[in-house]
Structure 1
Amino acid sequence: MTIRSMGFIAALALVGAACGTKEAAGPLEPTGPTGRVRFVNLITDPARLPLNAILESVPFGVNLGYGGTTPSSLPSPATANYSAILAGDRTLVLQKTADPTVTVATLTFTIVQDDDHTVYATGGTGGGAITGFMTTDPTPAPGAGQVAVRIVNMSPTGGALDFFVTAPNADLSTATPTASNVAYHGESQYVNIAAGTYQIRAVPAGTAPASRSASVVINFTPPATPTPFPAGGARTIVAGDAAAGGSPLRAFLLPDR
């Protein structure tokens, strides 16, 4: 590890100390109207990764590879799913970790008071342009013994998809889609399912039931630790391209609450 990287991590540790734990305020310690934000790196250009995220001139994430997210990856005790930030227009600068003088992208977005937001960095395949995309995350409180789940489709290659969140190895021909016809940049509503262990699969939208098992383009079973679908929790399932763009498609699980 370089001295520069060590210094950046030390700065993040200071941010973490200011943030506290689960519902921490950092990194800006806002004192006015706030929303909350998190960042997900879906840049499909390995040559420009990993990257550091600088939010309003404050370190917000370090060494984020494809699929990396922050603030949940900040050093302990900054383990919040989101960070509070002043409402209004905000800027996130992405720098190459190996050479922070290289700006990979600058993303601007608007924080709405009392709302949770996820900012995605996307694109970049083969040295192409990188753009930002933001969702608002109206995280519900699920019923007893349940977890709230929604889908966000960030795969330009996959197009519109039907998603199934089922017991492992369940028969897709008889399964009901958890979310149907979710287009690129589309997002489903949250739905409540029983807490437990699930397999996430996707097929092209409208695939006939008998053809689903042979048409799966995403097949993802989250690790058992930490508990992927806990009672009282909420999760966003994100569909994305391969790390360098294109197929095979991938999925990521984000904790919302």
Structure 2
Amino acid sequence: MTMISTMLDFRRRPASVANVLLLAGAALSAACGTKDAAAPFEPTGPTGRVRFVNVITDTTRGRVNAILEGVPFGVNLTYATSTPAALPAPNTALYSPIYAGNRTLVLKRTADTNTVVATIAFAVAASQDQTVYAAGGAAASTIANFVTTDDNTLSATQARVRVVHLSPTAGAVDIFVTAPNADLATATPTLANVAVRTASAYLAVPAGTYQVRVVPAGTAAAARAGAVAINVASLALTANTVRTIVAADNNIGGAPLRAFVLIDR
């Protein structure tokens, strides 16, 4: 039970340090047969849930360790990696419960942990899911953060999906979510004129397989097929799930552009 004692010591520290240990504490409690014990692993205040996603386009600064309020939140995170899902089992949840309030996430180079890549201040709201993105950095540019509020409400009969646009190279775009190989010349943009650093509204769609294509905003119908900048050729969506598609530059910045899909719920 040494590990339990360590966790109890953490709980005696300020909430800002203990916040990211709620999941680990709960797991240890269950593993040691203390699920009926009083208090020590119960949150002592309102919590939200937080996820971090690495979209840093710099090979020198792009592999990072994430430290949330002084506590390790993710290690050796490469481009398009999210945490806490990247943590070793049993801490593989999609989000981590964090005490509500103003929080700070520090990113350090994995290869040189004395080098701070970015410091991200953000506010955690009670009973709310949030994703913190670190993006940019190509050609020694500034690494900026982008924070989204995530609505992970489930639909029993449909899938819910949205797009987070983080590709500065693409500029404003039109996004088409269609049946595979549908003719873009006769399609209507599902999301029109989506600006960079924007999270779209959620789309509720029937379960099925879709193709997601991105073209520059305002591209003429006849020219769309030849102007596709991002193509998710086959996206299988099932009812009662939530997904986020991230549109981004490649891992060193610029084209070819790419997209990756986050499992939200």
Question: Scaled by the length of structure 1, what TM-score is found?
Answer: 0.84
Identity %, equivalent residues: 56
Q: Distance in 2 between matches of 1:100 and 1:191?
A: 40
Equivalent in the alignment of 2:248: 240
Matched residue pairs, number? 233
1:80 to 93, 96, 106: 93
Larger Rg: 2
Supply the RMSD in Å over aligned alpha carbons. 2.1
Q: Residues 178, 78 of structure 1: CA spacing in aligned structure 2 closer, same or farther, 3 A cutoff?
A: farther
- What SS does the corresponding residue of 1:100 show, helix, strand or coil? coil
- CA separation of 1:16/1:102 partners in 2, compared to 1, >3 Å: closer, same or farther? farther
Q: Which runs of 5+ in 2 are unaligned?
A: 1-20, 28-40
Asked if 1:18 corresponds to 2:25, the answer is yes
**How far does residue 42 in structure 1 lie from its aligned partner after superposition?**
0.9
Which digits, 9 at most, give the CA deviation of each residue in 1:210-256, with x for residues without a partner? Answer: 21101101012367xxxx52220011111111111111111111111
Q: Whole-Å Cα distance in 2 between the matches of residues 215 and 29 of structure 1?
A: 53
Provide the C-alpha distance between the structure 1 equivalents of 2:45 and 2:177, rounded to a whole number of angstroms: 40
What whole-Å deviation, never above 9, does each CA across 1:124-160 have from its counterpart, x for those lacking one?
111221121111112232241x100111111111111
Distance 1:127 1:19 in 2: 41
Of residues 201, 219, 222, the one that matches 1:207 is 219
The answer to whether the aligner puts 1:196 opposite 2:208 as a matched pair is yes
Can you list the C-alpha shifts for 1:1-29, whole angstroms capped at 9, x where unaligned? xxxxxxxxxxxxx9874364xxxxxxx97
- Would the alpha carbon gap of residues 19 and 159 (structure 1) be closer, same or farther in structure 2, given more than 3 Å must change? farther
Which one of the candidate residues 171, 176, 187 is aligned to 1:164? 176
After TM superposition, the score normalised by the length of structure 2 is 0.81
Deviation by residue 1:22-80 (Cα, 9 ceiling, x = unmatched): xxxxxx97431111110111111111131111111111111111111111111122222
Superposed counterparts of 1:105-254, under 5 Å: 105-144=118-157, 146-221=158-233, 228-254=236-262
In the aligned structure 2, how far is the partner of 1:249 from the partner of 1:219?
9
Compared CA separation, residues 104 and 29, structure 1 to 2 (3 A): farther
